[in-house]
Amino acid sequence: MDNNGIPVSVMEILKSFGAVSGADGSALSNADVVKGHDLAWGGPGNLYTIRPYTLGPAALEVFTVRERIHVDIDGLGEDLVDLHGIGVYRRHEPRIGAEGAQELTWTTATIGAQFLSLQVVGDSEVFGQVRVTNTPWKREGATVAPAQPGGGKVTPLKNCVTLLFPRFEIENLGAMVDTGDVPVAVESRVNMVPPIGDVSRTSHGYALFDGSRQVGTLIAADLEIGALLHHIPIETAKDPVEAYAVTSV
Amino acid sequence: MTATAEASTGATRLDTAALLDAYRAQVTPAAKAFVEDRMSGNELRSRWLPYFQGPFTEYELGVQAAWRDAFGPDHGIEPGPPHADPAYAEQLRHFPVTISHNNLERLVDVLAVELGDRTASATVTPERVIDFAYVIDALDRFMASLVLTS
């Protein structure tokens, strides 16, 4: 059913059909849709700011982060929370990652990064203020590696897998909870580094613990990488391959 | 054909109109069936991948070729900060089409992982179904705006 060749809005169909609970927007609670930062949508006056399909030298980089988490906590309930803040990573020198490749190019490269800091904060009617941080004394990082989405065809697309040990400080629980020894994996598809505009998502839930006691579940997490705030070249950051060698989850 | 890359001559033509036609023919009907609860997560992904791996991948290769035509050959690590020079506005204008497609690919992936052979009404993450409907519409509008201004 089209309107003069223009498709009828899929969002309107979703809202009117009612197959999904909360499709009128109430499922989002106080959060918003995760669609990718505005920088990634272009348009007049919004020229994309990062060189695409281009390898850069190692660097320390700081960028804005938005994280939407869907959490269920025993005794408090379930809610979606929008969190905003910053992330810092040390991006390592690219290396050849495609099997059989002899030349380092965007298409053949694998790029590792060490996550140094994540600090995001948001508010929920159910949980009060929520702050999410990383765990810097554990190995946390990302690997951007060649993908083959075209049935083996070499393309510029790369998989980006990030492993983090997030800690959730929840005001109304009066405690900080985490995922124990299980890292949270978020994955995305990228064609630029740093991945400004990238959206990465979990593919399953994670148990949340207060010490050794399970107190809830991280049902889903969706992350948007926003603006690059700072870029500092690093001379000696080599990729510790074994530490962050994750290519899919 | 959505893109014709001729790197040696610097003539890469990006046909966003053809990509939009393919999107409306292959993706939009599947998206509607999914939000109407008539299509499972796995079926949605099986309808999405031929488009993503076909017309879209061809388009993305064209965007990459257009960038390289303008910026120069890929010799590995390029010196300097990662910021793009606004002098390459024409090439950068099409790049967000690829970012939004790649983000949509991950979203379709996680919907299929969660739902499998079940339909959208079985989801425990309705927020992602809302994300999906929003992005499907937004991507259509964005590509249409590029077609109008090309």
Question: What are the phi and psi torsion angles at A70 (to 5°)?
Answer: -115, 110
Calculate how close chain A gets to B115, using CA atoms only, in Å.
Answer: 11
Taking an 8 Å cut-off on Cβ atoms, the answer to whether A11 and B137 are in contact is yes
pTM: 0.93
What is the pLDDT confidence band of residue A155, given thresholds at 50, 70 and 90?
A: confident
Query: Of A175-179, A236-240, B50-54, B103-107, where does mean pLDDT reach its minimum?
Result: A236-240
- Give which of A193, A35, A209 is closest to A112, Cα–Cα: A193
Q: Do A40 and B96 touch (CB under 8 A)?
A: yes
Q: Could you report the per-residue pLDDT of A202-235, keeping only the tens digit for each? A: 999 999 999 999 999 999 999 999 999 999 999 8
Distance CA B41, CA B48 (A): 11
pLDDT at residue B7 is higher than 80: no
Give pLDDT, residue B116.
98
Residues in B closer than 8 angstroms to A187, CB to CB, are 106, 109
B-interface mutation test, from A71, A80, A157, A159, most B Cβ less than 10 A away: A157
CB contact under 8 A, B142 and A42: yes
Question: Which ranges of chain A would DSSP assign to H, the alpha helix?
Answer: 10-17
- Give the pLDDT band (50/70/90) at residue A147: confident
A105-145 pLDDT, tens digit each? 999 999 999 999 999 999 999 999 999 999 988 989 999 99
Q: What is the DSSP string of B71-110?
A: H----SBPPS-SBPPGGGHHHHHHHHHHHHHHHHHHHHHH
Of B64, B77, B126, the CB nearest to A156: B64
The pLDDT of residue B4 is 44
Tracing tokens 């991507």 back to the chain, one arrives at B139
Q: Cβ separation of B60 and A57 shorter than 8 Å?
A: no
Inter-chain Cβ pairs, chain A and chain B, closer than 8 A: 233
ipTM exceeding cut-off 0.90 for this assembly: yes
Q: Which of A79, A72, A68, A67 is nearest to A29 (CA)?
A: A79
Q: How high is the pLDDT of residue A1?
A: 47
pLDDT > 90 in chain A, percent: 78
Q: Which residues of B touch A49 (CB under 8 A)?
A: 83-84
Chain A: give the shortest CA distance to residue B61, in Å. Answer: 7
Write down the pLDDT at residue B29: 97
**A152 pLDDT above the threshold of 70:** no
Helices (H), chain B: 16-22, 28-35, 41-51, 57-71, 89-115, 126-149
Q: How far apart are CA B72 and CA B75, in angstroms?
A: 9
Contacts of A73 (CB under 8 A, 6+ apart): A126, A127, A170, A173, A177, A208, A215, A216
pLDDT bin (cut points 50, 70, 90) of residue A148 is low
- A158 vs A3: CA distance, rounded Å: 37
CB atoms B128 and A231 under 8 Å? no
Among A206, A173, A214, which residue's Cα sits nearest to residue A77? A173
For the cut 70, the answer to whether the pLDDT of residue A31 exceeds it is yes
- Angstrom CA distances, A118 to A54, A80, A86, A134, stand at 25, 19, 6, 5
